[in-house]
Structure 1
């Protein structure tokens, strides 16, 4: 069903202007009839632009036609960009998955995806506009992958700033996007201890939103990720729902210390679904998009789609 009633202009105005409390907010899953497939994703664009490539059919059948999260970074028009994207999904009665990825000192440990907003004030403006762009439409949002797990690569002042910005983000989604399930990222099964991550989640305002995400852009199996998430929940004041990134986790994480960055042997995991041991299993990372100039794609920058990476994920090689 759609988030908005179109029967009369008067009723429409009432719905838009009236505050929605947590008690009356609906589940975005129940408000929609399935997952939104982004026609402008990197693999979909590659498929469209390469009609004669021998890899096209595989990538189209296995990746570009599947529900994949869209990542949003620095954008002066973020409110309208997000509004247009979630509006397109709502027009199809589908549920979009978005990733907010613009916090200052982003990717502090890996460095390949560094950047983010230029200041704390700029980030507050950006994330408030992001939430407002969703408004009352149904959506799922993953908030700032790796931010909490990367505290060890930050100074104390940077940690304090990041915690405050993440808490502000949770407050914005709670206030401005009542039909959004938002999840703070909580790292993965091989990065940080559950008790430490739980402390950081609590400090960053996880109580304000739906829950937390694990394994974003990583390779740990679903069962490993469930175990880790349940351990994190054991240290929270109240257990929270969690989602798992299954985009590349079918074969698990290899033993290479650098196995987080375009490793050989990774394979596509199960596509988006509710349940499966978590609240949702999602493709958060876009399969075929490089983690950085490393591993089996040593010349492909982070965020760039590489069809050879995509085919290797399809085949598990």
Structure 2
């Protein structure tokens, strides 16, 4: 998480914590698992090589709730705090300091840092996560700083969620398609200059571009051949089974490319028609590299559980910490 987002999160923790008592948000809903409150949090699985941020919003929320006497809720939230989730350095500032901080901490523990690079120009078609670099040169400078900060540390980077899928669905205007594909290819090559960095180019999710074959040529033009693979289901709720089946079809079309799956919030699958802060969702498969499928390199928590999708369903701005939604995800989780 960037310093900018972290500062906003810290400020929001107290405000949202005070508001929680009168909130009717998603902490208790019809999808809650009976008796889940009494279950203990499981530690991060040994099959996960990824670094856990000890200063994450979830970890800070636990301390706040403990001071307030909400010990049962604090214990449930360990299901998020004790597991690795990606860092999303913000585009408004140089990502280098935040990337170096995370990689240094991960390296000290012999772990791999997990990142999302999300700053492509014309990002998110002006929707909840609109923004991105001002132009192509600004993006090249940003991704160069990102890569320099990775150094020789072990890292996994999910590159530009939505960027390719928005080319396919036409949300990104046609005059930007060629530039975007060129920038993605340059970003892959620049990141892969770091000797211990893996790069997975985002490829949407099964409910978005329903025919995976439509992604093949845009992914190729964007340099997928030089990446370690592609990423699916980032910030979405499609089940592991549906996403894996979709990914295997796309993998075959790409000559056997491997992929990773974001399982952060898919424990109850999607809520039809609602992609932004849907109620009743649950944490999914904990991060692991033991997937049981050779083409699936990992299940990851790319979306940080508990951070809002946007100002919908009563949520704060996109990327802001929402403790009661986080609690709902943890309470509904199967483990």
User: Given the two structures, how large is their TM-score scaled by the length of structure 2?
Assistant: 0.79
Find out whether 1:70 has 2:87 as its counterpart.
yes
Find out whether 1:39 has 2:57 as its counterpart.
no
Partner of 1:285: 303
Aligned partners of 2:94 and 2:191: how far apart in 1? 18
Aligned partners of 1:45 and 1:149: how far apart in 2? 34
| SS of equivalent to 1:288 | coil
Task: Report which structure shows greater RCO (CA 8 Å, sep ≥6).
Answer: 2
- Counterpart among 280, 287, 291 of residue 265 in structure 1: 280
Does the C-alpha gap of structure 1 residues 225 and 70 become closer, same or farther in structure 2, counting only changes over 3 Å?
same
Contact between 2:76 and 2:331, CA under 8 Å: does it hold in 1? no
Tell me the CA shift for residue 263 of structure 1: 0.6
- Counterpart among 223, 233, 240 of residue 257 in structure 2: 240
| SS of equivalent to 1:207 | helix
Partner of 1:26: none
Partner of 1:24: none
Aligned partners of 1:160 and 1:294: how far apart in 2? 32
Tell me the CA shift for residue 191 of structure 1: 1.0
Contact between 1:43 and 1:59, CA under 8 Å: does it hold in 2? no
| SS of equivalent to 1:273 | coil
Q: How does 1:133-148 map to 2 (within 5 A)?
A: 133-148=149-164
Deviations 1:138-174 (A, max 9, x none): 1111001111111211111112221111111001012
| SS of equivalent to 1:148 | helix
Q: How does 1:287-302 map to 2 (within 5 A)?
A: 287-295=305-313, 298-302=314-318
Contact between 2:310 and 2:319, CA under 8 Å: does it hold in 1? yes
Contact between 1:59 and 1:310, CA under 8 Å: does it hold in 2? no
Aligned partners of 2:48 and 2:300: how far apart in 1? 16
Most deviating of 262-271 and 53-62:
53-62
Contact between 2:77 and 2:330, CA under 8 Å: does it hold in 1? no
Tell me the CA shift for residue 60 of structure 1: 3.5
Aligned partners of 1:42 and 1:59: how far apart in 2? 14
Deviations 1:237-291 (A, max 9, x none): x2211000000011111222xx211111211001110132321001111111110
Deviations 1:283-313 (A, max 9, x none): 1111111101113xx2411111111101111
Partner of 1:117: 133
- Counterpart among 206, 211, 214 of residue 189 in structure 1: 206
| SS of equivalent to 2:191 | helix
Q: How does 1:72-91 map to 2 (within 5 A)?
A: 72-91=89-108
Does the C-alpha gap of structure 1 residues 315 and 33 become closer, same or farther in structure 2, counting only changes over 3 Å?
closer
Contact between 1:199 and 1:235, CA under 8 Å: does it hold in 2? no
RMSD across aligned positions (CA): 1.8
Larger helix proportion of the pair: 2
Partner of 1:23: none
| SS of equivalent to 1:157 | helix
Most deviating of 213-222 and 304-313:
304-313
Structure 2 regions of 5+ residues with no counterpart? Answer: 1-46
Number of residue-to-residue matches in the alignment: 279
Partner of 1:132: 148
Deviations 1:211-233 (A, max 9, x none): 01000000001010101111111
Does the C-alpha gap of structure 1 residues 36 and 300 become closer, same or farther in structure 2, counting only changes over 3 Å?
same
Contact between 1:38 and 1:67, CA under 8 Å: does it hold in 2? yes
User: Given the two structures, how large is their TM-score scaled by the length of structure 1?
Assistant: 0.83
Does the C-alpha gap of structure 1 residues 53 and 140 become closer, same or farther in structure 2, counting only changes over 3 Å?
farther
| SS of equivalent to 2:140 | helix
Tell me the CA shift for residue 79 of structure 1: 2.3
